[in-house]
Every structure is written in structure tokens, then in C-alpha cells.
Chains A and B, each alone.
Chain A
Amino acid sequence: MYQKQTTVAMILAGGQGSRLGVLTRKLAKPAVPFGGKYRIIDFPLSNCVNSGIEAVGVLTQYQPLVLNEYVGNGQPWDLDGMYSGVTCLSPYQQMDGAHWYAGTANAIYRNMNFIERYDPEYVVVLSGDHIYKMDYAQMISFHKKHHADCTIAVIDVPLEEASRFGILNTNPDGSIYEFEEKPAHPKSTNASMGIYVFNWSKLRKYLEEDAADPNSSNDFGKDVLPAMLNAGERMFAYPFEGYWKDVGTIDSLWEANMDLLNPKVPLDLSGETDKIYSRNPSMPPHYIGPNANIQNSLVSDGCDVDGKIDFSVLFPGVTIGTGATVTDSILMPGATVEDGATVEYAIVSENAVIKKNAHIGGRPENIKEEGKWGVAVIGDGITVGEGCVVEPKAMIDADVTEVEK
């Protein structure tokens, strides 16, 4: 018997994240390592726990192995309760046949039985690829206070960037009268954060209608939310203040990691409360060698550093050799940079090896030609040979052995 839960959270974690290229070759976007010891999904999962939500579904579809294994029984997030906790929900065969999740709304629709077991009042729909800390309980109080059917969290973005987001236009009381997806001339700067609170009874009705509509693309943003608005349901925008970042691209993923090094960025992971939880590898503390020089960087357990590190994020088990230089870069678990190698503005994936005197990426000020500069990305397990050069903005998915002159 499942205990009643007033709120169930559903995390959309099935997207391929194709814009992250080699980083999501073998794993889903929410499983991409972030911030020196976390994976992206740690943020929504920890937010749920810190907000008192005990029943969480993670909707997986693309490359679920790493994500399923990582979430596991939910113990690192205290989501391993007897009658609640976290469950990974993959597409499955039903009486009417076997279907992939056709869209975000369809993924929830196909798991209505999971939600119904808890007989909830509210369902929170979250994205598995955003970095932020948020107390969903406050958003739910806002939702209740306004007797809303649907509440959407919004963040104030600069006007010049507003046309990259889904913009919500609201009345003075906060109720929404219009959605604009990536408008050329935005009327407001309230960008949707992809965080929704629904009354379950209402959502259920609209999901069923949406599923019955053959012309629908089964997407929350494109289909379900406009349908609710057109039907005159009470929809409100919940203004969120604080740090929030969609890490769907190489540049934004790199930036979000670098934001952790900036004391002015309002995302504090060091607090005693509202921690971001994660699975922790069993590694000894990191060792800083006699020749090391580390400035403004994050370093995790199991690292062995004897080079120069500047403005970089080192995940567990990273090795930096003597005389190696790493600046403005992200080194994922188990990556190795051998003696004398240089890594600049790069993301080096898990267990990649940068051999002696190789050179990865470059500084923007050294690249004259416009459009040539960007963050270089080395795929997981890739070896860049001794003395080899990897250009800025390159995305490497095979071993590099040739030395460029």
C-alpha cells in the first residue's frame, strides 16, 4: 500500500542533449558531470528532498544506463523510503503497443499510474538539465494561495536575451494571459524556467485530452499549457530570484561550471542546509604536490595535482602532471593531463588522457579569426597523443595521434 503524498515530482530526463555532442554520446544529459563532484540531476533531486517532496519519478529514455545506475535506489538523496522515494521510469510496452515517449506531456501521460499510486493533490514537473537551488514548497504555497490550476516558475532575464526563452506575459495579479515561444519582440522579460506545478486532477484531464488529439506533438510548452490557457484555467507565474541556468549547450555548461568559481554568483553549495547531495566515490583526499600552483579553482577527492591550475574545476580522480598548465577548463572524473601539457578553455571528459606536451584549446585573445574560438571538448576515454594539438572549439570523439606542425 502506497501512502498518500500531497505532491509528486516528475523529472524530465529523457532528452538526448544533442547540443552537448560527445559529452552525451553514452549518457543522458542529466547524468553529465557538473561542478566538480555532481551530476546535473543532483540539483533537481536535491531540491525535491530539500523541499520535502518524497515521491519522485525520473523519466528516462535516451541512454539510461548511467542515469539509472546513478539514481539507483535514491539513497544518496534520502529518496529510499519504504513507501516513497525515487523511481526511474522508462518507456514500456502497453496493451495498445510499444511506444517511445513522444513528447514531454506524453512521458507524464504514460506514467499516470505511477502518480495515481500516491493520490496526490499536486504534481511538480521539472527539467533534468537545469542548475539552480529552489524551494518548491514555497512555489506550491504560492500556487495554493492563488488557487491556481497551473503555476510556472519564471526568472527575470535581460531584455536583449529574452528572445531566446519562452516568455510569459502576465496581468498585474501574476496571472498569465499569453505565452510567447522565443518572441522576436518580447513584451516582457519573464522567462519560463521549465518548472511547473499542476493540480493533479486538472493535469490529468488535459493529458488525457492531449493524448487523444492526433495532431498534438504531446509537449507541455507547445500543446498542454496553451490548451489550458485557451480553456481559461487559472495559470500563474511564480517569480524566482536566484541563480538558474539551462546547461543544454557546451558554452552554457562551461559557463555554469565557471560560475561556481565566481563569489558574486548567488549559487552557494557550501552551506550546512539545503545541500546538493550526490553519490560519492571512495577516494582519499586530493594531493597537491610541491610544484603545484592552484588559483581560484575547485578540486575534489582523489586528485593528484603537481601543475598550474587556474580558474578550473577538477572532478574526483583527476591527475595533473608536473609542469602541466590547466586554465579555464573542466576536467571530469579520472581525466589525466600529463607533464608539460596545456589545457585552455576546454572540457575534458571522463578518463580522457592528455599526453605529455599536448595542447588543448586556446585563449580567446589569441584567436584573431572570428567564429574560430570556442570551448574545446575531449570525449570520454579519448587519448590525445604526445605533443598533439587540439584546436579551440574542436569536439574530439576519436584518439588524436597526429602531431600538427
Chain B
Amino acid sequence: MRNNDVLGIIFGNSHAERIQSLTSHRTMASVPFGGKYRLVDFNLSNMSNCGITDVGIIVDKNFFSLMDHVGSGKSWDLSRKNGGVHLLPPFIQSGEASGDTVIEKLYSIRRFLNDATDEYVLLADCDLVANVNYSDMIQQHIDKNADVTVLYINGLNSESRQDSVTFTTDTDERIVEFLVEPRAKAECNIAAGAILTSRKLLLEIVQECVNTNKLNYVRNIFQKDVNKYRFYGYKHEGYYSLISSIEEYFEANMDLLNRENRKELFNVHRPIYTKVRDDMPSRYGLGSSVKNSLVAQGCVIEGEVENSIISKGVRIGKGSKVKNCIVMQDTKIGENANLSYVICDKDVVIKDGRALCGYNSFPIYIPSEKVL
């Protein structure tokens, strides 16, 4: 049984500026992750797993790779007669300017929001890597009779996260105060890029913000109206990673080498789906040596790999050493090459004997299709 009266909205481009090198040709949503996934897979799967059948993905630029990835939505069971997944490029009427703020983006899709019939809307960014139990969050929202429920994680605030929002709650999870850009070093409740509210209230808030030209919803609604609306927090337990820099992106990938993290993220009862390519299983040649690594399908590995994430269709030649690297799909590494702390984007060619060495806090990034 499906259908829970919730419309999913994913912001495809938001926070792309945080990992500029990876998003120069793609949306945040389509940033490759974990050997076979794209960041959008986590939200699409979480939404699909909680029974959401209607999802809109707001995009404004660089969305070719996302269109290719999402396709009809079939991979997430979101190719449906009623609803399904929609890519929502800017819809600008004459005399209007499209904006970068969340409010302006929502305003530009107000017809889509108006036409929907769902009671609730779940708004989500693509910078969270986690297996979130949205069913539970929706249930809590209803049980507490909340106006707005904000997904949060409890942890240390990242220094690279300039615009983070934290909040304090009472014992009933009701939010009593929002803080923007706090400098706190201690553990705190950090908003994790997913907000549940009613569709009617969302439309009202968006209209009000636009009318008064107060486009920062956190300051003008969350902070100002913290007592007017019933704001609640929903805490995500279990593995998460909030990606706000290339270093954090690197770390989040490496987190997958931990068995417990994998178990929580790839929960067998709430699988993470992705568009699948018909690759054959990966082949390990004679003389290969692979330790502590995550390897997708379609690879041919004849060299040494350690502490690395190897995506689909990668080739690693004899005598090559790949350590602490993220190698994205279809990259070809020749023989006797030596890579350490390198992020290779898609279709990179590393010729025989090349050597590159970054550092834990400074992984070297090689853009897609570069030949080294």
C-alpha cells in the first residue's frame, strides 16, 4: 500500500557552490557518490521508501546529467500513472526575475504546488547522505500537530558550513530558538536539509515572503515566527554525512569503508536505489591486490587498490597503486601509475607511469575526461 499524501520537492542545485569542482558541469543532485550512486539517490530512495509517489526536482542549470540519471523515475519506482518524478526547470513569467533563494524557487513552481493534491510537502536538499525514515518523520509531524517539522542531526557543526542553521528544542522536540551561522564548538542540533509542512501553509508563506520581499525564510519565518507556528524537530538517528566541502565529500565517501556505516546507510529494509547500467561483475586479475575498498561493477582491476572507492567501469592496470582515492566511473588508469588522495572524476585517463599525490586534508581533484 502506498500513498501518504505527501509531495516531495528536491532542490537539485542548492549548495552546489560548496563543492564547485564537482558541480561545474552538473547539479548537486547528480554529484557521483559511493561508487554507483548520485547524491539525489538518497532523497529519491528515502521518499520512495516512505510511500511518496509524487516528487518534483527543482533545477535551474547544469541539469543534463540529472535528467539522464533520473529518466522516467523507474529506478526508484517513481514512474507512475499518477504523479511520479518531475524535473522542474525555471518557469519564469514576463516581468519576473528568477532568484536563487528557496522562496523564489518555490514561487517559480507555485503552479506545480497549486496543482498538487497532497496535504503535505517534504522539501529536501541534496547535501545529506543518510537513510532517513521519512515515514516516522511524517507520523511525528501528524502526531504533534506540527506546522513545520525540521529534520536534524545532533553533532558538531562543520566550520566549512557557513550558512548552517541550528536550533534548540524543548523536551517535546518543539523548537524554541533558531540560530543562523552559530560559532558553537559543542554538539548541537543542526538542520539537515529536509522540512515537512502542509502544502497550504507553504504556499501562504511563499506568497507572503514574495509580497514583502523578505526572501530569507530562515530569518523572516523561522526566527521571527518561532512562536507563531508550531515548529518541531525530527532527529535522524544513524549514519549521516552533510557535505559542505570537497574535503567533507572525500570523507563521506571514505565513511563507506566502515561496515557499520554501510549497514545503516544501505538499510536492507529501505534500500537506496539508483539508475543501473548493465555492467558485468567486476573482474580481479591475477596479481591484483585490493584491500579495504568499495568496488562497483564493470571494473577490471589488475593493480593494487587500498582504502579507495572505485566506481563502475573503472580499469586499473598492472603495477598501478591506487590508495585513498575516489575513482569515478569509466576512468582508465594504465600500468605502473601511482595515485594517492586523488579524486578522479568520470572518464579520466591516467597514462602509464603517472604519479599524483594529495593529502588527507587536501585531496587532488582531476576533472572529467582529462587525460594525464
Contacts and interface: CB of A to CB of B under 8 A. Distances in A.
B276 interface: yes
A309 B333 CA distance: 24
Interface string B269-290: 0011110101111111111111
Contact of B286 (A282, A295, A309): A295
Contacts of A287: 257, 259, 262, 293-295
A286 B282 contact: yes
A298 interface: yes
A280 B74 CA distance: 13
B266 interface: yes
A302 to B, nearest CB: 8
A35 B283 CA distance: 11
Nearest to A314: B281
B36 interface: yes
Contacts of B266: 283-284
B213 to A, nearest CB: 45
A interface residue count range (under 10 / 10 to 19 / 20 to 34 / 35 or more): 35 or more
Interface residues of B, number: 42
A269 B313 CA distance: 12
A270 B293 contact: no
Contacts of B36: 284-285, 301
B30 interface: no
Contacts of A151: none
Identify whether the interface residues of A are mostly helix, strand, loop, or mixed.
loop
A292 interface: yes
B291 interface: yes
A252 B54 CA distance: 48
B273 A36 contact: no
A138 interface: no
B280 A288 contact: no
A280 B310 CA distance: 19
A327 interface: no
B272 A296 contact: no
A314 B281 CA distance: 8
A270 B34 CA distance: 22
A277 interface: yes
A300 B297 contact: yes
Residue from B271, B283, B287, B309 whose CB has the most chain A CB atoms within 10 Å:
B283
Given A75-B74, A280-B276, A285 B284 contact: no
B286 A296 contact: yes
A276 B278 contact: yes
Contact of A298 (B283, B311, B312): B283
Contacts of A76: 278
B256 A289 contact: no
B292 interface: yes
A25 interface: no
A348 to B, nearest CB: 16
B271 A298 contact: no
B300 interface: yes
A70 to B, nearest CB: 15
Contacts of B325: none
B283 A297 contact: yes
B297 A288 contact: no
A249 interface: no
Interface string B239-280: 000000000000000001101001001100001111010111
Contacts, number: 107
A313 interface: yes
Contacts of A280: 276, 278
Nearest to B301: A294
Interface string A295-311: 11111110010000100
A39 interface: no
A258 B338 CA distance: 31
Find the residue from B34, B266, B278, B288 having the highest chain A CB count within 10 A: B278
A282 B42 CA distance: 13
Contacts of B278: 76, 275-278, 280
B35 interface: yes
Given A270-B300, A280-B276, A286 B284 contact: no
Given A282-B271, A298-B280, A290 B35 contact: no
Nearest to B283: A298
Given A282-B271, A282-B273, A283-B266, A299 B295 contact: yes
Contacts of A277: 278
A293 interface: yes
Most central of B273, B284, B285 by chain A CB within 10 Å: B284
B288 A294 contact: yes
Contacts of B34: 284-285
A300 B283 CA distance: 9
Contact of B290 (A276, A282, A294, A300): A294
B87 interface: no
Q: Which 4 A-B pairs have the closest CB atoms?
A: A36-B281, A285-B35, A285-B296, A298-B281
Given A270-B280, A284-B34, A295-B286, 15 more contacts: A35-B281, A269-B280, A270-B279, A276-B278, A280-B276, A283-B271, A284-B256, A285-B35, A285-B297, A285-B310, A286-B295, A288-B290, A288-B292, A288-B293, A299-B284
Interface of A: 35-37, 75-76, 261, 269-270, 275-278, 280, 282-301, 304, 309, 313-315
21 contacts: A37-B280, A261-B283, A270-B280, A270-B298, A276-B278, A282-B271, A282-B274, A284-B36, A284-B256, A284-B272, A287-B262, A289-B291, A289-B292, A294-B284, A294-B288, A298-B280, A299-B295, A300-B282, A300-B297, A301-B36, A315-B281
